């Protein structure tokens, strides 16, 4: 798939834009990851990472980037005994996760609309 995509991009002045748009359009249907508090879910199969094929998975990046990552860092640190346990009920943590998911979905939707607008303009001005 990657090889055929690269051939489709071409080598003209629009090749980079074509690459960005096509790569985005192919990855768009993929399911987005969701934040959740493990303590509120009974079904452990929901912790499974499909692509990596591992039964338990968590993900976080630098805690300066997203609030969800800060929460994961704090929970992981507390579970390892490096800091005091967080004094939040699991339902409150899940409420935070739901809020982060809502904001992430809204951000993704704005990004999609922006790409659609760019693509429309690109198609319109291209001879």
Q: Are residues 77 and 51 in the same domain?
A: yes
pLDDT tens digits, one per residue of 17-53:
878 877 777 776 666 778 888 888 888 777 887 778 8
Q: Are residues 21 and 1 in the same domain?
A: yes
CA-nearest of 116, 103, 123 to 25 is 116
Please provide the average confidence, as pLDDT, over all residues in the chain. Answer: 83
Domain that holds residue 2: 1-30
Res. 16: pLDDT tops 70 = yes
Q: DSSP code of 28?
A: T
Q: Are residues 21 and 39 in the same domain?
A: no
For residues 26 and 20, give the distance between their C-alpha atoms in angstroms, rounded to a whole number: 10
Q: Which pLDDT belongs to residue 81?
A: 93
For residues 71 and 53, give the distance between their C-alpha atoms in angstroms, rounded to a whole number: 25
Q: Which pLDDT belongs to residue 127?
A: 67
Q: Are residues 63 and 46 in the same domain?
A: yes
Query: Which residue is listed with tokens 């969701």?
Result: 34
Q: Are residues 76 and 93 in the same domain?
A: yes
pLDDT tens digits, one per residue of 63-122:
677 888 888 888 889 989 999 988 889 999 999 999 999 998 998 899 889 988 988 888
For residues 110 and 103, give the distance between their C-alpha atoms in angstroms, rounded to a whole number: 11
Q: Are residues 121 and 103 in the same domain?
A: yes
Q: Are residues 17 and 40 in the same domain?
A: no
Q: Which pLDDT belongs to residue 30?
A: 67
* Residues 19 and 9: beta-carbon distance below 8 Å: yes
Q: Which pLDDT belongs to residue 94?
A: 92
85 vs 61, more confident: 85
What sign has the CA pseudo-torsion 55, 60, 66, 67?
Answer: positive
């Amino acid at each position: 798939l990657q090889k055929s995509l690269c051939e489709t991009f071409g080598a003209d002045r629009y090749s980079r834009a074509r690459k960005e748009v096509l790569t985005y359009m192919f990855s768009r249907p993929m399911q987005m990851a969701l934040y959740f508090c493990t303590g509120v879910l009974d079904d452990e199969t929901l912790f499974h990472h499909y692509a990596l094929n591992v039964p338990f998975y968590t993900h976080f990046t630098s805690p300066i980037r997203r609030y969800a990552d800060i929460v994961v860092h704090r929970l992981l640190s507390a579970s390892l005994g490096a800091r005091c346990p967080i004094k939040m009920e699991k339902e409150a943590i899940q409420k935070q996760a739901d809020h982060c998911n809502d904001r992430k979905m809204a951000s993704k939707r704005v990004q999609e609309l922006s790409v659609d607008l760019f693509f429309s303009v690109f198609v319109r001005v291209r001879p």
